[in-house]
Amino acid sequence: MTPPNNSSQETQEIIKKKTPSDFIFGKVIGEGSFSTVYLAKDVQTNKEFAIKVLEKAHIIREKKTEYVMREKEVLRILGNPCQYIVQLYSTFQDSSRLYFVLTYARNGDMCKHINLYKKFSFECTRYYTSELVLALEYLHSKNIIHRDLKPENILFDQNFHIIITDFGSAKIQEKNEEKSIETDKKRKNSFVGTAQFVSPEMLQECKSTKASDLWALGCIVFQMSSGQMPFTGGSEYLIFQKILKLEYKFPDGFNERVKDFVEKLLVIEPNKRLGVSDSTPYSEIRQHEMFHGIDFNNLGPPPKLSDTSEPISSDEADDVSLNLEPGLDSEKVSRLVLKDMLPDVPIKPMNRKKSEASRNLTEISQDEIESRLQTQKNNPYNAFVGNNLILKQGLIDKRKGLFPRRRMFLLTLGPHLYYVDPVTMTFKGEIPWSKELRTEAKNFKTFFIHTPNRKYYLEDPDGYALEWCKCIDQVKDHYFPTKQDQS
C-alpha cells in the first residue's frame, strides 16, 4: 500500500522560503543535544508546526554539520507521501541559526506512553507494529536506512498515529552496496544509533543495511509488548556483549505470537531476518500470524493506549498565542546561546569495579552505616544531608526554565535526593520521594525523574545517567517495594 498522500495546496504554499517572523513561536516542546524544538504557528495559515532551531556555531564547534545536513537531505528525499514519517515543510536560516519546520507531533513519543502504561496491549502492539512496517516499507523503498529507530524517535500525532523522526543518523543507501559499506567503515569509531537498539552487524562490522532497521523493529516490538528493552546493562559494553551473544529473555506472560515475531527479527545473521528476502512490501512480515486479521491497506483508527488515553486535550494553542510577536524573542534566544556555552564533556564508559557495580546500594549492614557516617564527616556536603548516609553523589546539570544549573546531587538513605549549589555551597532543594517517583534514562547523559507534580530534567555531564537511574531505582525499591519485590 502507498501510505496516504498528505500533499495539499496548503503544503505547497508553505514550501516557499519563510523567515522566523512568519511564525509565532510558542513553548519549547523538546530539546536535543544540538537543538531546541518549539511549537509554532504559521502567521498566515494558523497551522501548527514543530520548529527545530539549531545554533550554527554550536553545530560547527561540535562537528555536527554532516549530521544536520544528512537529516535535511534525507527528509528532502522522503518528501511528503508517507503519513508515518515526519515531514520537512521548509528550512530557512538567519545569521546564527538554522530552522527546520516540521510536522508537529502533538502526543509525545512512544517511550513516554510505554512508561506511562507500563506496556501496550496486544492490540496496540500489533497496530503500531503495522504502522512501523508501513513506514519502514516506505523508507526502504526510497533506499533510506534510519539506523536509530527506537521508541524515543517514534512520535504520536494528534490522532495517535506514529510519526518517525530523527534522521540525523540515517544512511542513503547507494546503488553499489559495497561502496556504502566502505562509507560505514570509515566511520568505524563514531557510534551510530543507540546502544540498546543497535544491530550485531553494526557492532561487529560497522555495517548497516535495511535489515538493521528490522533488528531495531524487533527490539521496539519487544519493548511495546513488555515495557522492557530486550538488551540492557549498566554500560554500553555490557549491552553490546548481550547483543552479540543474543542474550535476552522474554518476561513471563509475553504474548506467544509477538514472541515468535520478535524471535524472527532478532536474528544475528542479517540476511536471515524476517522480511529481508522480500523487496518492499515486506510480504513475509505482513503474513506473520501476529498480523492475522490486519488489513495493511486500511489499518483503521488506532486502538486506545489505555481506557483513559483520549487524545490529550490541547492547550498548546494558548501557549502559542502567549508569544504574540512573530520570531524568536530574546528569552528564547538566550536559551539557545546558553546551550552553546555549556561545557564540552566527553561521554565516558562506566568504570566502576565489577564487585561495586553489581552490589545493591542499599545492601549495607548497620555497622557499615555507622562507620561510613564517621568517614562522611570529612565530606564537605555532610552538612546538607542531616545525619543521612550518602549513597551516591555527583554533579548534575538540572534544568529549570531557561537555564541549566550545575548542582551536587546527594542520594542518601532516608530516602532523600538533595541538591546543593557547589559554587556558593548553599542548599537548593530536594526531589520529593514517593512510590510514584520514577526514573527515565534518555541516553547516557540525560535522564528524567518523574514525580507526581514535576518532571526533573537532568544531565550527567560525565555520561553516567544510566547508573544514576539504577541507583535511584534501587533506593526506591528498598523504601517502596512493589508486591513482586516483597514476595
Q: Which residues contact 411 (CB under 8 A, 6 or more apart)?
A: 361, 390, 391, 392, 393, 417, 471, 472, 475
C-alpha cell at 289: 500470524
With CB under 6 A as the contact rule, the residue among 14, 23, 26, 37 that binds ligand ATP is 37
Cell 514472541: give the residue.
259
52 binds ligand ATP (CB under 6 A): yes
Q: Which three-class secondary structure state does DSSP give residue 244?
A: helix
184 classed as catalytic: no
Number of H helices, E strands in the chain: 17, 16
C-alpha cell at 357: 557495580
Shorter beta-carbon distance to ligand ATP: residue 75 or 472: 75
Shorter beta-carbon distance to ligand ATP: residue 104 or 291: 104
Cell 495539499: give the residue.
8
465 binds ligand ATP (CB under 6 A): no
Using the contact rule CB under 6 A, the part of the chain among 30-38, 196-204, 220-228, 368-376 near ligand ATP is: 30-38
332 binds ligand ATP (CB under 6 A): no
Shorter beta-carbon distance to ligand ATP: residue 75 or 471: 75
Report 129-158 residues binding ligand ATP (CB under 6 A): 155
Neighbouring-strand partners of residue 457: 399, 448
233 binds ligand ATP (CB under 6 A): no
C-alpha cell at 275: 522480511
* 118 labelled binding-site residue: no
381 binds ligand ATP (CB under 6 A): no
- Closest residue to ligand ATP in the complex (CB): 30
**In whole angstroms, how close is the CB of 210 to ligand ATP at the nearest point?**
21
User: Which has the closest alpha carbon to 443: 202, 276, 193?
Assistant: 193
Distance CA 405, CA 396 (A): 8
109 binds ligand ATP (CB under 6 A): yes
With CB under 6 A as the contact rule, the residue among 165, 180, 199, 223 that binds ligand ATP is 165
What phi and psi, each to the nearest 5 degrees, are found at residue 231?
A: -115, 115
Distance CA 402, CA 233 (A): 33
Report 66-105 residues binding ligand ATP (CB under 6 A): 86, 102-105
319 binds ligand ATP (CB under 6 A): no
Which residue type, as a one-letter code, is found at position 306? Answer: S
197 binds ligand ATP (CB under 6 A): no
35 binds ligand ATP (CB under 6 A): yes
Q: Which three-class secondary structure state does DSSP give residue 472?
A: helix
Output the known binding site for ATP.
Answer: 52
Which residue numbers are catalytic? Answer: 148
Provide the binding-site residues for ligand ATP, judged by CB under 6 A. Answer: 29-35, 37, 50, 52, 86, 102-105, 109, 155, 165-166
